[in-house]
Amino acid sequence: MLIDNKNYLRLHNRDLLNILNRVEINSEDTKIEKSKTGELTLKMFHRNVFKYVHSKYDPIREMSRLVDQFELEEGKKHILLFGLGLGYHYTSLKEKFPDVTFTVYEPSEEVLASILGSLSLKELFGNEAIKILTNRTINQELRTLLQTYNNQLQIFTLPFYEKLYKQELNDLYQYMVDHLKNKKSTLVTNVSFQKRWTLNAVKNLPKIINTPNVLKDIDKSQFEDKPAIIVSAGPSLDFEYENLRKIKEKGLAYIFSVGSSINSLIEHGIYPDAACTYDPTERNQIVFEKLKAKQIRDIPLIFGSTVGYETIEDYPGEMFHMITSQDTITPFLLNEKEDLEIVIDAPSIAVVTFQLLANLGFRKVILVGQNLAYDNNKSYASGIEYGGEINDNKLISVENVNGETVYTEEGFDRMRKQLELYINSTTNVEVYNTTVNGAKIKGTVFLRLEDVIQKYLNKKEVDNNWLNNIKQENAQFDVLSYKNQLYKSKMELGKITKELLEIIQQCNEIPRSNSIQIENKLIRFDKYFKKMKKNMYYKNIVSQMMRVQIERLSEDAKDIKLVNNIGKKLQLIELHFGSFINEVSNHIDFIEPHLEESLAKLKE
């Protein structure tokens, strides 16, 4: 590698330098030579012959023609170069789009190391800190790029690379598509639940304080190396009632129902060792209507702290809670310095429950009824009356446990991928998928439930007194001790929002010609806005109800910074920041009576 390049990478990308220092170069596979016009060109050994990456006659003219044909889509702010080559495309693109930023993805570390033996990055990029990615870093860095540029990224591909690295290019596009889908899903989720998560956490506070934390207050040693079953409500549950009855009666494994499966189990006279729930919607209470109507007291409920508050009202049995990642209020009120174990919010209660069981110490988890796909146009087991209709236009095909094709929809597919993510990162837990005709779940072993019983569940494992092994401490004192801090912070937040709105009004009253006075006001505005973001009440309560608005304001703020016309800038500040601050005030008013009610109940 050229000394020039080592210095460039040492300054701008030390990690890549360390990678390339360990790469062995085969000088016979990549060759740089002079073209007919005297410019350098590059050729690579591919399928027993050398193929030119750039024209062997006139590489600069060739690249100018390709760049002329390239149209940057409206709104795109960043170009990802698929292949570095000798950088002719970068030079032409930079001339055509001087305001666009660039990143390079070179799929082969060996090719990159070979190229950098001749091509000077300093001469090519000048003082620009252009990042170069490889196969080893692309996934991590691409996510950061997409977030930084708000998905406004476009790929430019060298034609030769498009053929040689077809799979890598397809993976790149697929990653971008998946990222957009996930971002859309997250946006939809936040729009739907951002206010509800906080409302639930506030209204559930008395129940949370007065019930054991399943991850903190229960003796985990009783679950170590034990088997547990997660029973979901997929169609294949209909095949397993007798097997589950046998497991329950003989205590062969702990049974945890998730979501709607509790109703099918009750209907067949099988009471799980615990039911798990976390759905923040008001509709979630429907799942437990039958259980409440029958006043069944023998099924303990493990609820997420942001579950729909209606769900846990009047629950007849014992209850335990788990703190979810969407809850910022409970950890703060209990003791913000305390390192609480939490479960990460996910698209499915089965995913949340898998996290829970792994954290409790279970080392064998068996999935039952986890179809995550349609089976004969059914998405739920018998006895569940509120499954949605199937939209044939949105079906996608996936592989099932038998290697055959089944159909599912994006929601189920997201659940499957999220479950796979947690299973593959939890290497100390064996996971068996017993779901007949269900979607294949990577990281699991498919085995029929009767075979799992025969091979692995051959002795009593369940301690019928597990509910009694509780070491709960009363946390009410901690909560009430933080109350005064919370209300002091709320009063300060009210003053800050009032000051911010007054500064905007004052700016509008200053003549546009007095730019210095306006600038001083905007500096003061920025100071108070930062103060608002650090405010305890804003951070732990208000901002959690305004995630979408905060993200939107962040994007608007980037555009406002680029506006030079002071009048236009003030209009945009009033439009975007002014409306945001008013929303902050509205959210303070919305949550206040619910917080008062919950804190009052703690004193009773």
pLDDT single digits (tens) 385-414: 545 555 555 688 888 888 888 888 888 888
- 25-29, 204-208, 538-542, 554-558: range with lowest mean pLDDT: 25-29
Quote the pLDDT of residue 599.
83
15 in helix, strand or coil?
helix
Quote the pLDDT of residue 53.
81
Quote the pLDDT of residue 385.
53
Find the angle CA(106)-CA(107)-CA(112) to the nearest 5 degrees. 50
pLDDT over threshold 70, residue 383 = no
- 368 forms bridges with which residues in the sheet? 231
pLDDT over threshold 70, residue 474 = no
Dump pLDDT digits (tens) for 267-284.
Answer: 999 999 999 999 999 999
Quote the pLDDT of residue 133.
87
Closest CA to 142 of 94, 180, 110: 180
Question: Which residue type sits at 446?
Answer: F
Quote the pLDDT of residue 335.
66
DSSP strand pairing (40-46 vs 30-34): antiparallel
HSE value, Cβ hemisphere, 13 Å, CA-based, for 46: 12
Quote the pLDDT of residue 290.
92
Residue 151 pLDDT level (bands cut at 50, 70, 90)? confident
Closest CA to 231 of 195, 205, 196, 268: 268
HSE value, Cβ hemisphere, 13 Å, CA-based, for 54: 28
Pick 29 or 388 by higher pLDDT. 29
Instruction: Name, of 184-198, 295-309, 462-476, 550-564, the range with top average pLDDT.
Output: 295-309
Dump pLDDT digits (tens) for 93-119.
Answer: 999 998 889 999 988 888 888 888 888
Which residue has 């490889």 as its token pair? 134
pLDDT over threshold 90, residue 162 = no
Tell me how far apart the alpha carbons of residues 529 and 535 are, in angstroms, rounded to a whole number. Answer: 10
pLDDT over threshold 80, residue 473 = no
- 133 forms bridges with which residues in the sheet? 105
pLDDT over threshold 60, residue 604 = no
Q: Are 57 and 37 in contact (CB under 8 A)?
A: yes
Q: Return the structure tokens found at 457.
A: 């569940």
HSE value, Cβ hemisphere, 13 Å, CA-based, for 25: 16
pLDDT over threshold 70, residue 371 = yes
Mean pLDDT of the chain: 86
- 351-360, 465-474, 579-588: range with lowest mean pLDDT: 465-474
Residue partners of 449: CB distance under 8 A and separation at least 6: 240, 243, 244, 366, 368, 434
Dump pLDDT digits (tens) for 111-143.
Answer: 888 888 888 888 888 878 888 888 888 877 887
Quote the pLDDT of residue 30.
79
Q: What is the CA radius of gyration of the chain?
A: 30
Dump pLDDT digits (tens) for 233-243.
Answer: 998 999 999 99
- Percent of the chain exceeding pLDDT 70 equals 91
Question: Which residue type sits at 231?
Answer: V
Quote the pLDDT of residue 500.
95
Pick 150 or 597 by higher pLDDT. 597
Quote the pLDDT of residue 228.
96
Tell me how far apart the alpha carbons of residues 523 and 542 are, in angstroms, rounded to a whole number. Answer: 24
Q: Return the structure tokens found at 540.
A: 């732990």
Contacts 24+ apart (CB under 8 A), 41-49: 41/86, 42/85, 42/86, 42/115, 44/111, 44/160, 44/164, 46/164
Question: Between the CA atoms of 581, 585, 591 and 593, what dihedral angle is there, to the nearest 10 degrees?
Answer: 180
Tell me how far apart the alpha carbons of residues 494 and 220 are, in angstroms, rounded to a whole number. Answer: 44
Quote the pLDDT of residue 537.
93
Quote the pLDDT of residue 423.
92
Q: Can you give the pTM of this predicted structure?
A: 0.71
Q: Are 165 and 250 in contact (CB under 8 A)?
A: no
Quote the pLDDT of residue 430.
94
Question: Which residue type sits at 591?
Answer: I
Give the sign of the dihedral formed by CA 29, CA 34, CA 35, CA 36: negative
Dump pLDDT digits (tens) for 443-461.
Answer: 999 999 999 999 999 899 9
pLDDT over threshold 90, residue 561 = no
Quote the pLDDT of residue 397.
86
DSSP strand pairing (319-324 vs 301-304): parallel
